[in-house]
Amino acid sequence: MSKNQIDWRRTPRVGVFRPDDERMATAVELLEEYGITAVPDPMLSVEPTGTIPEIEAVSDTSPFIVLTSKTGVEILADAGWSPATATVACIGPQTAAAARDVGWTVDIVPTEYSSQGLVDALTDKVTDRSVIVARSDHGSETLLDGLNAAGADVTETVLYRLVRPAGTGQSTVMAAGDELDAVCFTSSLTVEHFLAAAANRELREEAIAGLNHAVVGTIGEPTRETAERCGIRVDVTPADATFEDLVEAVVTELQKGQLSSDVDETTDRADESSEW
């Protein structure tokens, strides 16, 4: 038994929506370490655009390069691209680790792993400097707006598109049937694609109702806001925007919800309408 294994009274089923690559495999493995049955349903697929940052095209001889995902790093490395003398800023530790793994020097990682965190970390450094933001086609405007407001000369390079894979969405049927105990939304786009898949099955309202009977976890405030705007009650958004912290927070909520034999069975579950 894993050191994280919990003696559940009934094995929880948790939907996870990461891309169908090593990230999904890692997510499933992590959930299984807690004794949870993962319901993998990829809501994102990566389509590279073939475009890479052109450092020589900017006026600054040593610009800033902002990387917002591990996927972006991998695409650039596969293309043989290098940041050369640029100052490299990564949105969080996983992106930074990927960059270091391919031999790049990472100069800046914000304390808050978000677009706003990057803005806060760079604001006093980028006035009158060139900044190249390399990311997906669904990047937050918060980053571009904040850097422009700081006086930077900002160029955006769209490295890849994020699309919903064909044939996914079985988790929406399970949610509509109250067959999911929890879900882990890792971005606003996973929320939007989940609901689009539900709508395609004419189950959008039923799926939302099912989620509101389950534990809903999100990474980052933008994801939380998207879910709540769509009528989904969010239970947990960990302070650190990592999948590991998200799973830990969701597991804690599941234990409160009486699925673990370690919890006193006489304890009442919190009111569904409360922020629990």
Residues 60 and 143 in one domain: yes
Higher pLDDT, 253 or 61: 253
The span from the CA of 211 to the CA of 213, in Å, is 5
Domain boundary among 136, 163, 190: 163
| pLDDT, position 60 | 83
Q: Quick one: 149 exposed, middle or buried, by C-beta within 10 A (0-12, 13-18, 19+)?
A: exposed
Which tokens hold the place of 142?
């918060």
270 lies in some domain? no
CATH number of the domain that 134 lies in? 3.40.50.10090
Residues 170 and 158 in one domain: no
Residues 169 and 143 in one domain: no
Residues 56 and 138 in one domain: yes
273 lies in some domain? no
Summary mean pLDDT of the chain? 90
Q: Quick one: 36 exposed, middle or buried, by C-beta within 10 A (0-12, 13-18, 19+)?
A: buried
| pLDDT, position 241 | 83
The span from the CA of 105 to the CA of 86, in Å, is 9
Q: How confident is the model at residue 273 (pLDDT cuts 50, 70, 90)?
A: very low
Which tokens hold the place of 228?
């709540």
Which tokens hold the place of 233?
């009650």
CB 232 within 8 A of CB 212: yes
Angle at 132 between CA 141 and CA 83, to 5 degrees: 140
Domain boundary among 163, 196, 214: 163
Number of domains the chain is built from: 2
CB 177 within 8 A of CB 183: no
Q: What are residue 65's DSSP bridge partners?
A: 88, 132
103 lies in some domain? yes
The span from the CA of 230 to the CA of 209, in Å, is 11
Question: Residue 153 belongs to what domain range?
Answer: 47-163
Residues 74 and 203 in one domain: no
Residues 147 and 171 in one domain: no
Residues 190 and 251 in one domain: yes
Domain boundary among 145, 163, 181: 163
154 lies in some domain? yes
149 lies in some domain? yes
Angle at 137 between CA 236 and CA 87, to 5 degrees: 90
Residue 274 has pLDDT above 50, yes or no: no
Percent of the chain's residues with pLDDT above 70? 92
67 lies in some domain? yes
4 lies in some domain? no
Total length of the chain: 276
The pLDDT tens digits of the residues spanning 12-29 come to 999 999 999 889 999 999
| pLDDT, position 59 | 78
CB 8 within 8 A of CB 35: yes
Residues 53 and 40 in one domain: no
Residues 130 and 38 in one domain: no
Residue 97 has pLDDT above 70, yes or no: yes
The span from the CA of 263 to the CA of 260, in Å, is 6
| pLDDT, position 272 | 26
Residues 172 and 222 in one domain: yes
Strand 87-90, strand 130-136: pairing: unpaired
Measure CA 17 to chain center: 9
Residues 24 and 85 in one domain: no
The pLDDT tens digits of the residues spanning 100-129 come to 999 999 999 999 988 999 999 999 999 999
Residues 72 and 125 in one domain: yes
6 lies in some domain? no
Residue 144 has pLDDT above 50, yes or no: yes
**164, containing H or E segment:** none
